[in-house]
């Protein structure tokens, strides 16, 4: 059985965000303008939740079902890095790298995303998901027994996402 390892150097999962939506349309998710790599992830969950509509009628003694459009999302928990979370205002830049995760969420800006499951965006053979969506559910938190700030982050996917392998 082939496993997708994520716990060795070079195989950590990566999340990339960009406000450059043309990169996805052009099929180039690897090098969009102003790309932001969201680092220090604690976990990632990729959800495809296809809805089901159920009804009954007098033609059958059973319940009938049809699928409805899927509600897709990417959820993660991240350790907050001040530059990645609040934006890089010291190094000149544009787009997602300048705005940071919090800025993208607050401005309600649609972004392209790419989640590489087992490597970086240049790792040949790595599996990835890509598409467009909005950043939601930002909620920085800290506690006495946790010495770092952490926050959930959800990408509410608009439309479908693509699943592929980096070649």
Identify any residues that bridge with 45 across adjacent strands, giving them in sequence order. 75
What pLDDT score was predicted for residue 28? Answer: 58
Give the pLDDT score at 92.
58
Three-class SS state of 94: coil
Residue 5 lies in a domain: no
Query: What's residue 20's pLDDT?
Result: 80
Residue 50, class by beta-carbon neighbours within 10 Å (0-12 exposed, 13-18 middle, 19+ buried)? exposed
Structure tokens belonging to residue 76: 């993660």
Residue 7 lies in a domain: no
Neighbour-count burial of 165, counting CB atoms closer than 10 A to its CB (0-12 exposed, 13-18 middle, 19+ buried): exposed
Q: What is the number of domains present in the chain?
A: 1
Asked, for residue 147, whether it belongs to a domain, the answer is yes
| 4 in a structural domain | no
- CATH number, domain with residue 124: 4.10.410
Residue 69, domain member (yes or no): yes
Q: Is residue 128 part of a domain?
A: yes
Q: SS3 of 156, please?
A: strand
Name the residue among 154, 144, 136, 135 with its Cα closest to residue 19: 135
Domain coverage including residue 144: 14-165
Q: Does a structural domain hold residue 49?
A: yes
Q: If we measure between CA atoms, which residue out of 93, 72, 126, 75 comes closest to residue 19? A: 93
**Residue among 53, 49, 86 at smallest CA distance from 68:** 53
Q: Compute the distance between CA of residue 56 and CA of residue 46 in angstroms, rounded to an integer.
A: 32
C-beta separation of 72 from 49 below 8 A: yes
- Spatial neighbors of 163 by CB under 8 A, at least 6 apart, are 127, 128, 129
Sequential pLDDT tens for the chain (167 residues): 567 777 777 778 889 998 887 765 555 555 656 788 898 899 999 999 988 999 999 998 999 999 999 899 999 999 999 888 998 777 656 678 888 999 999 999 999 999 998 888 878 888 899 999 999 999 999 999 988 999 999 999 999 898 988 88
- Both tokens of 119, joined, read 């490597």
Q: What is the pTM of this model?
A: 0.84
Is residue 133, in this structure, part of any structural domain at all? yes
Q: Under a CB-based contact definition with an 8 Å cutoff, are residues 24 and 132 in contact?
A: yes
pLDDT, position 87: 86
């Amino acid at each position: 059985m082939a496993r997708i390892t994520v716990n060795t150097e070079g195989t950590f999962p990566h999340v990339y965000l960009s406000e450059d939506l043309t990169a996805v349309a052009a099929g180039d998710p690897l090098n969009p303008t102003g790309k932001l790599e969201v680092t220090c992830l604690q976990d990632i969950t990729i959800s495809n939740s296809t809805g089901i509509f159920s009804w009954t009628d007098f033609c059958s003694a059973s319940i009938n079902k049809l699928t409805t459009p899927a509600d897709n999302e990417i959820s993660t928990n991240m350790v907050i890095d001040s530059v990645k979370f609040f934006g890089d205002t010291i190094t000149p830049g544009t787009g997602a790298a300048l705005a940071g995760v919090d800025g993208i969420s607050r401005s309600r800006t649609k972004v392209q995303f790419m989640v590489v499951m087992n490597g970086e965006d240049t790792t040949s053979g790595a599996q990835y998901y890509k598409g467009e969506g909005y950043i939601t559910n930002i909620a920085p938190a800290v506690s006495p027994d946790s010495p770092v700030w952490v926050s959930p982050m959800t990408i509410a996917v608009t439309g479908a996402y693509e699943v592929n392998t980096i070649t």
